Amino acid sequence: MVYHGSMKTTIDIPEDELRDAMRFTRATTKREAVVKVLAEFNRRRRMAELVKHSGTFSDRFPTNDEIEAVDAERDRRLRARPRR
């Protein structure tokens, strides 16, 4: 796995959940398990986004302006979400 930057943080993870994550991902360290689980979660969310848009484009490739409009809308929604 290649890491492009990282963020140190302290979080409370239930032991059973972390143990299962290590088992399911075959990770050898807690950090590796958390990174793999986050990557898988994000991959699934990206796939769900693609499926949500499935069939919304015509048979042609979208133009750069259309792609940027979709990105801008996504960014607008992300900025509008309340922070925790």
Q: What is the pLDDT of residues 45-75, one digit of tens each?
A: 999 888 887 766 566 777 899 899 999 999 9
Q: What is the pLDDT of residues 2-36, one digit of tens each?
A: 567 788 899 999 999 999 999 999 999 999 999 99
What is the phi/psi pair of residue 28, to 5°?
Answer: -100, -10
Can you give the pTM of this predicted structure?
0.58
